Amino acid sequence: MLMIGKIWKIPLNGESKGMVYRVNIGNKYYIGSTKLPLSLRASKHNYKIKNGSKTKFHQEAIKNNIFKVKCEEIYCGEDYIDVENKIILESLEDKNCLNMKVVKQTKERKKELSRKRGDCKLCGKEIMKKNMARHLRQIHHVTKFDIFKKKAKV
Ligand SMILES: [Zn+2]
């Protein structure tokens, strides 16, 4: 038991492959992904459940007196995070889905996010482009229009 913490950190294999798994609690279910062997991933969930974790999934297990969950493999591959996100997105409207957060960060998402960011021309801070106007107004007390005017004068 004492060794489990260390074993958990060992990936399934040296590769970038991972698994998407499903845990059934009665007619409700939880979708997750991992690079660990599923029995170890289940142990991690069980540990949290026994310790009264507050997530929707763990709370549902506690409510049903289930302290030993089983992770069933539903997908295995390199794009397991994308597959997981797709399944969870499709299940969002489903009352029986116990997932709380939807999207995990993938390389593509991080790239997408950085495209939406820009540097403030006045202080150099990195800000979401959609929040730039507010930043200029609140922090520097100018509008985008003011900056363009100044540039035009130079
Ligand atoms: Zn600024």
Per-residue pLDDT tens over the stretch 24-59: 999 999 999 999 999 999 999 999 999 999 999 999
- Report yes or no on 72 lying in a domain: yes
108 Cα to the center of ligand 1, angstroms: 27
Q: Assess whether 48 and 121 both reside in one domain.
A: no
| Statement to judge: residues 74 and 134 lie in one domain | no
Question: Domains in the chain: how many in total?
Answer: 2
Q: Name residues whose C-beta falls within 8 Å of residue 30's C-beta, 6 or more positions apart in sequence.
A: 22, 23, 57, 97, 98, 99
User: Is 106 among the domain residues?
Assistant: no
Residue ranges of the chain whose pLDDT lies below 50: 1-12, 154
Give the structural domain span for 80: 2-9+16-100
- Distance (angstroms) between ligand 1 centre and the Cα of 117 equals 13
The Cβ of residue 132 has, within 10 Å, a number of other Cβ atoms equal to 17
Average pLDDT, the chain: 84
- How many angstroms does the Cα of residue 150 sit away from the middle of ligand 1? 16
* 34 and 67 part of one domain: yes
